[in-house]
Amino acid sequence: MSKRAAKVTKQSSTNYTAPQPRGTGAPYDPSLPPNQRMIELGTPGLKGARPMEGWLYDEFLPQLRGIRGAQIYRQMMDNDPIIGAALFTFSMLLRSVAWTVVPVDQSPKAIAAKEWVESVLFQDMLTPFGDVMSDILSFIGFGFAPAEVTYKVRRGKQKDPRRSSKFDDRTIGVSKIGVRAQDTIWRWHFDNWGELNALEQYRIGETNAMIPADKLLLFRTTSALSNPEGRSVLRNAYITWVRKGTIEEAEGRAAIRSAGMVVMRIPSLFLDPGASGDELAVANAYRAIADKTAKDQMGSVVLPSDVDPNTKAPLYDIKYVTTEGTRPVNMTDIVERYDKRMLSSVLADFILLGQQSVGSFALSDSKTAMFSKACGAFLSVIDDQFNRVLLSRLWELNAFDEDVKPKVQPGDLEAPDLGKLGLFILQLAQSGAQLFPDPELEAKLKRLANLPANVEEG
């Protein structure tokens, strides 16, 4: 080791000072007093999450922030057929899932609690549960879906349908779960620690609505940094979508130009800047004929038969002029590449299987399996809000026993392959496993095969 290196090493070991926090002159103290260990010192770091401001700047593209961003995502979903197909696949697959309420055990109190939750969600809401679920699924495309929960005391039939109930047990149930349109969310209000306090909704011609957080169910694709707006599954497809739109516009212009251009020839005296009023009127009349012909508004044109005395060429002429050759760029390949990129960003590229020269249906199993797993993750988001938030609030409002609180649970996304399942059971039996008689196993297999619970022999 050189003398210089030894000197540096010695200084580094003897003169080391611990890093100091920015903005303070006090040295860093690794030991915290007990009271500071019980409080939160930092925040999630969400840009713009200030108590008095409420605007979010975590998205670095300004055009994708707030209401403007929601409008762009809606344009992507409504105008692009490929994106629409992917979102439609998500929606239809998730809407086909049956939701059930599962009791904690088979005790009478637990069964009663389960039946009460079923009556609240599936029988007594102003908006049917299926329609509520359809609105909730908009969180996939927008990244979030805030739903305001309106409660009611179940006192039987009332004049006001919002307060009317099919039950008269005097418990507090749910009148409505109303999803608020993403392109009406004005801003969010947070506390000093970055936790959500309220949602402010823009209303045309009225004062903005302030919805407190304890009335909200917030469905998000991700909860990173406690961002209430989550992250749209279309976010990674945005740049590709913009580029695809540019290519398609150019393709449309090229298609129009390839059909040709109407060219009309008339004597130059009508086009002279010093032409008389009558001559200018003739020139304008012929311009109108050319425009109408180009727009397919005229099927025939009558022209003078005058010819040039020297060249014998007609003084008046009209024809289509088309471009020669073909364009060097195949725009179809570019658009298809962009389509594939957008579908891949949401794991839905299996939609293109069989439509292009690459790929095969042999890939469909693995691709749809990945897509189903993504759908399962979205179901867990909905499941969490119903169980952790909604049922907890209902139990608190009604002072119910927490020990009997049931769970709202989604069903299977896809029906199992009965052939593969049967082969698996056969292999288990051949290996010596004792499967039957087993009432629970038999009931499960009958449900998967859509068979009656009790099959009568005879």
Would you write out the chain's pLDDT as a tens digit for each of its 458 residues? 455 444 444 444 445 454 444 555 555 566 667 676 777 777 777 877 665 567 888 899 999 999 999 999 999 999 999 999 999 999 999 998 999 999 999 999 999 999 999 999 999 999 999 999 999 999 999 999 999 999 999 999 999 999 999 999 999 999 999 999 999 999 999 887 778 999 999 999 999 999 999 999 999 999 888 899 999 999 999 999 999 999 999 888 877 777 788 889 999 889 888 889 998 999 999 999 989 888 888 888 888 889 988 888 898 998 888 776 555 667 888 999 999 999 999 988 888 776 655 444 455 667 777 888 889 999 999 999 999 999 999 999 999 999 999 999 998 877 677 777 788 888 888 888 888 887 877 777 777 777 786 644 43
Other C-beta atoms closer than 10 Å to the C-beta of 279 total: 15
* Among candidate residues 153, 160, 98, the one with its CA nearest the CA of residue 129: 98
* Among candidate residues 180, 185, 141, the one with its CA nearest the CA of residue 378: 141
Query: Which residue(s) pair with 196 in the sheet?
Result: 190
pLDDT value for 44 = 77
What is the full DSSP assignment across 15-59?
S------TT--SPP-SPPPHHHHTS--S----TT--TTT-----S
Q: Which amino acid belongs to residue 73?
A: Y
3-state secondary structure (DSSP) of residue 426:
helix
The span from the CA of 182 to the CA of 77, in Å, is 13
* pTM score, whole prediction: 0.76
Whether the Cβ atoms of residue 129 and residue 122 lie closer than 8 Å to each other: yes
The span from the CA of 340 to the CA of 434, in Å, is 48
